[in-house]
């Protein structure tokens, strides 16, 4: 059985070591982040995985040099999966964000044609409306060929082929790229739990300059933001924002206040940042969501990162947090996004 996984390009110098730790002795690099290999069992979820899929159909070729590629690809995929009850079809180029538009255009054309052929029940639905456990046809293509699977979004770790949904950090309400990080985290969390109620109240630690704050406010949430540094002036006076110019470590919420979610994207030691988070757990409702960025800039290598991750996860478990998701987001650099639920 062939498998295709995606490892973050930010950790490219460690890819070979990561593959070995995943039990993969021989793999072929496709693009900059995808690795193709043979294994009898599916790779288990790992901190490093952005995407994983069993390859149910492959066509090694150079699509842009193959005559009538779209027609032939559609014919092959229909022949292979005609009897499968698909909820959706998602196609994407192997080289995400490539400045070369050929494969992006080809993936879009292929997706449109396949939806016409398979006629899924709600071909026009938002990808986030997919059943995380339902069957989707995911197709990836690049100069190495076409690779497809019929799997659930949850099994593959994303609603889109390849796992990424582009989140702009240049929208009118955007203040920094951090807003795109929380937007993508909330998108991926739908794989594992229902979205928060529109009336949810967030507590954000280390909020300055307000990139994530702005994104949460744009979504209609109420936000209590804490930081000694000021927020961007564009947020001043927002009716759903409560800003406290205080040290996040010593901040005490107003008497009787409880929050539905907590967000922490603070720089510095991950353990110190998590200690601040754990100090606020008593002010969170049962079932509250916690989104935390684990910074790894000082880590010397793969083992250092794994050791740090183990310490952070142990601290969270001891403090009454149940893991929901761990991933590397599009706008993450040398850091990971960890999500928990308050037990």
DSSP conformation class of 321: E
Average pLDDT estimate for 8-36: 95
- Average of per-residue pLDDT values in the chain: 93
| Sheet hosting strand 201-205, strand order edge to edge | 241-244, 222-226, 201-205, 259-264, 284-295, 335-342, 321-327
pLDDT of residue 96 exceeding 80, the answer is no
Q: How far apart are CA 339 and CA 317, in angstroms?
A: 12
| pLDDT attached to residue 81 | 97
Determine how many CB atoms are found less than 10 A away from the CB of residue 202: 26
The H-assigned helical ranges of the chain are 15-21, 69-81, 102-118, 153-156, 178-189, 211-218, 270-280, 302-318
Cα–Cα distances in angstroms (integers) from residue 268 to residues 109, 273, 296, 299, in the given order: 45, 7, 9, 12
| pLDDT attached to residue 172 | 55
Residues 271-296 pLDDT 10s: 999 999 999 999 999 999 999 999 99
Determine how many CB atoms are found less than 10 A away from the CB of residue 9: 14
Cβ proximity of 288 and 253 under 8 Å: no
Q: How far apart are CA 39 and CA 51, in angstroms?
A: 16
Residue ranges, CATH 3.30.2130, the chain: 2-156
| pLDDT attached to residue 169 | 58
| pLDDT attached to residue 316 | 98
Bond preceding residue 295 cis, omega within 30 of 0: no
Its sign, for the CA torsion 185, 190, 194, 199, is positive
Cβ proximity of 4 and 53 under 8 Å: yes
| pLDDT attached to residue 100 | 66
Which residues are 54's β-sheet partners?
3
Q: How far apart are CA 53 and CA 6, in angstroms?
A: 9
Average pLDDT estimate for 153-166: 93
**Count of helix runs (H) and strand runs (E) in the chain:** 8, 15
Per-residue burial over 286-298, b if 16 or more Cβ lie within 10 Å, else e, is eebbbbbbbbbee
User: What's the whole-model pTM score?
Assistant: 0.93
Residues 114-137 pLDDT 10s: 999 998 877 778 899 999 999 999
| pLDDT attached to residue 238 | 94
* Strand, coil or helix: 14: helix
Residue showing tokens 């409560």: 242
Cβ proximity of 3 and 43 under 8 Å: yes
Residue ranges, CATH 3.40.50.150, the chain: 178-342
**β-pair type (51-54, 57-59):** unpaired
Specify whether domain 178-342 bears CATH 3.30.450.20: no
Average pLDDT estimate for 3-31: 95
Residues 218-271 pLDDT 10s: 999 999 999 999 999 999 999 999 999 999 999 999 999 999 999 999 998 999
Record: fold of 2-156: VC0802-like (3.30.2130)
Cβ proximity of 251 and 277 under 8 Å: no
């Amino acid at each position: 059985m062939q498998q295709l996984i995606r490892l973050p390009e930010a950790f490219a110098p460690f890819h070979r070591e990561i593959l070995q730790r995943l039990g993969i002795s021989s793999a072929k690099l496709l693009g900059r982040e995808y690795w193709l290999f043979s294994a009898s069992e599916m790779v288990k979820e790992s901190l490093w995985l952005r995407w994983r899929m069993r390859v149910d159909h492959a066509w090694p070729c150079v699509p842009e040099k193959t005559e009538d590629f779209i027609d032939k690809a559609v014919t092959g995929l229909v022949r292979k999966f005609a009897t499968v009850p698909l909820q959706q079809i998602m196609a994407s180029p192997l080289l995400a964000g490539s400045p070369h538009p050929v494969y992006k255009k080809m993936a879009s054309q292929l997706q449109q044609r396949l939806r016409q052929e398979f006629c899924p029940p709600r071909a026009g639905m938002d990808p986030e409306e997919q059943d995380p456990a339902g069957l989707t046809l995911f197709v990836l293509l690049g100069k190495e060929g076409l690779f497809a699977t019929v799997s659930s979004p949850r099994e593959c770790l994303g609603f889109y082929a390849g796992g990424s949904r582009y989140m702009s950090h240049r929208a009118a309400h955007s203040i920094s790229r951090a807003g795109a990080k929380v937007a993508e985290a909330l998108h991926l969390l739908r794989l594992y739990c229902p979205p928060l109620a529109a009336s949810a109240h967030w507590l954000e630690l280390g909020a300055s300059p307000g990139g994530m704050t702005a994104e949460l406010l744009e979504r209609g949430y109420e936000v209590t933001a804490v930081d000694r540094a000021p927020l961007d002036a564009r947020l001043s006076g927002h009716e759903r924002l409560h800003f406290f110019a205080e040290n996040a470590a010593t901040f005490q919420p107003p008497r009787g206040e409880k929050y539905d979610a907590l967000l922490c994207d603070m720089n510095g030691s991950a353990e110190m940042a998590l200690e601040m988070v754990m100090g606020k757990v008593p002010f969170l409702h049962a079932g509250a969501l916690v989104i935390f960025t684990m910074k790894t800039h000082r880590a010397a290598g793969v083992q250092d990162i794994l050791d740090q991750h183990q310490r952070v996860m142990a601290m969270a478990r001891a403090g009454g947090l149940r893991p929901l998701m761990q991933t590397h987001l599009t706008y993450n650099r040398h850091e990971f996004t960890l999500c928990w639920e308050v037990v």
